[in-house]
């Protein structure tokens, strides 16, 4: 298995989008119709259910290119969707849609997932953000991926946008991430120390029919040899594309920082530590207190963010990413997308109004970006 080298630390983003019925505000199975109207292209593709669709960027040198790419594709997609009587929303879960009512997209790949995972796959009515970072080789991807473990819970907390499921307040900031935990090859990554170890492990999984291909490994962060990237998959999908670009900027800054940091300065967190922090991020979002040492010491998310900004300051200045950091600062000041949805429901006691809010936030984000 060859790792296709990519230009160092380039970015690519994949965003899973909800297709909304403007009358009922439920999800609407319209992806086939929309994709047919868009014609042959690479930036809007099918997803497992016909009530969702995926938007992809090309290879981007920085977050500015990510933002422009997403803006252009979303504007085209929105025009086609609205001509078909469909709205678009960006959020980790839909507040009241039922997964039992979803139509699977007609694809051999998606039928395989349903046949293999049954109820677990049918529950995948969730929407995430995947950020790819270009890597020179597989060993670098493994090394930086391992070092990223420490920051995965904070990224989940920042992006959290799935508090509701099947007309219920789950009590979580991200219920989406708990759905993935049920998949045998999903969730928290396995520790491997080299590209060859990863190759050996995946060969055994294939031989034992644990996976059909590398696409069946749905870790929170994983190497993607076909793209030559490290793919971070832990994030919920925020409401606006400026928030998405800001998270992509942060992932790029982290990759560069972790690549440059000497080995002895990067203490690899233990498995229990990362798993507990992931749960806290899922439960409390940015109100979480995270474990920061093997002794069990903790710190609030905002204090961890302040320290991280100081560590990344040279990269922020070099890339002129100040505005993206300000966008992320706003999450700590005003709350995450999950918090915003809960505020709307607290004011109006209506999931319809929550959907309207999320839909308007998506559209407002496209209008406000030049």
pLDDT digits (tens, 9 = 90+) for 233-261: 999 999 999 999 999 999 999 999 999 98
Three-state secondary structure readout of the chain:
CCCCCCCCCCEEEEEEEEEECCCCCCECCCHHHHHHHHCCCCCEEECCECCEEEEECCCECCHHHHHHHHHHHHHHHHHHHHHCCCEEECCCCCCCCCHHHCCECCCHHHHHHHHHHCHHHHCCCCCEEEEEEECCCHHHHHHHHHHHHHHHHHHHHHHCCECEECCEECCCCECHHHHHHCCCCEECCCCCCCHHHHHHHHHHHHHCCCCCCHHHCEECEEEECCCCEEEEEEEECCCCHHHHHHHHHHHHHHHHHHHHCCHHHCCCCCHHHHHHHHHHHHHHHHHCEEECCCCCCEEEHHHHHHHHHHHCHHHHHHHCCHHHHHHHHHHHHHCCHHHHHHHHHHHHCCHHHHHHHHHHHHHHHHHCCC
In a domain, 4, yes or no: no
Range of the domain at 125: 11-367
In a domain, 78, yes or no: yes
Residue 265 reports pLDDT greater than 70: no
CATH, residue 166: 3.30.590.20
Domain count within the chain: 1
In a domain, 6, yes or no: no
In a domain, 133, yes or no: yes
Q: What is the pLDDT of residue 294?
A: 87
Q: How does the average pLDDT of the chain come out, rounded? A: 94
In a domain, 166, yes or no: yes
253 touches 315 (CB < 8 A): yes
Cβ atoms < 10 Å from Cβ of 184:
13
Mean pLDDT of 336-358: 98
In a domain, 219, yes or no: yes
Q: What is the pLDDT of residue 11?
A: 98
138-178 pLDDT, tens digit each: 999 999 999 999 999 999 999 999 999 999 999 999 999 99
In a domain, 1, yes or no: no
Name which of 178, 180, 150 is nearest 163 in CA terms.
178
Q: What is the pTM of this model?
A: 0.96
In a domain, 2, yes or no: no
27-61 pLDDT, tens digit each: 999 999 999 999 888 999 999 999 999 999 999 99
């Amino acid at each position: 298995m060859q790792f296709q080298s990519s230009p160092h630390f380039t970015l690519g983003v994949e965003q899973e989008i909800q297709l909304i019925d403007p009358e009922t505000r439920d999800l609407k199975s319209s992806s086939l119709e929309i994709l047919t109207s868009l014609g042959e292209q690479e930036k809007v593709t099918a997803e497992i259910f016909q009530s969702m669709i995926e938007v992809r960027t090309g290879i981007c040198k920085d977050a500015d290119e990510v933002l422009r790419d997403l803006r252009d594709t979303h504007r085209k997609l929105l025009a086609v969707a609205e001509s078909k009587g469909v709205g678009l929303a960006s959020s980790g879960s839909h507040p009241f849609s039922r997964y039992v009512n979803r139509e699977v997209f007609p694809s051999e790949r998606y039928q395989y997932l349903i046949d293999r995972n049954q109820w677990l796959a049918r529950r995948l009515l969730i929407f995430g953000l995947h950020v790819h970072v270009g890597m020179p080789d597989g060993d670098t991807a493994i090394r930086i991926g391992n070092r990223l473990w420490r920051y995965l819970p904070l990224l989940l907390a920042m992006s959290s946008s799935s508090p509701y499921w099947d007309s219920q307040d789950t009590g979580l900031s991200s219920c989406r991430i708990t759905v993935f935990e049920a998949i045998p090859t999903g969730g928290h990554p396995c520790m491997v120390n080299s590209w060859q170890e990863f190759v050996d492990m995946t060969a055994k999984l294939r031989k034992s029919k644990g996976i059909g291909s590398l696409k069946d490994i749905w870790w929170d962060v994983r190497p993607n040899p076909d793209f030559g990237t490290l793919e971070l998959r832990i994030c919920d999908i925020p409401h606006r594309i400026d928030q998405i670009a800001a998270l992509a900027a942060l992932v790029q800054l982290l990759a560069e920082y972790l690549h440059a940091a000497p080995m002895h300065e990067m203490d690899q967190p233990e498995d229990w530590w990362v798993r507990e922090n992931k749960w806290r991020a899922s439960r409390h979002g940015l109100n979480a207190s995270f474990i920061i040492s093997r002794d069990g010491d903790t710190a609030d998310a905002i204090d961890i963010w302040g320290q991280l900004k100081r560590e990344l300051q040279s990269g922020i200045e070099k890339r002129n990413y100040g505005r993206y950091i300000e966008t992320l600062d706003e999450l700590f000041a005003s709350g995450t997308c999950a918090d915003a949805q809960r505020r709307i429901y607290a004011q109006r006691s209506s999931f319809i109004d929550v959907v309207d809010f999320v839909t308007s936030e998506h559209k407002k984000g496209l209008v406000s970006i030049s």
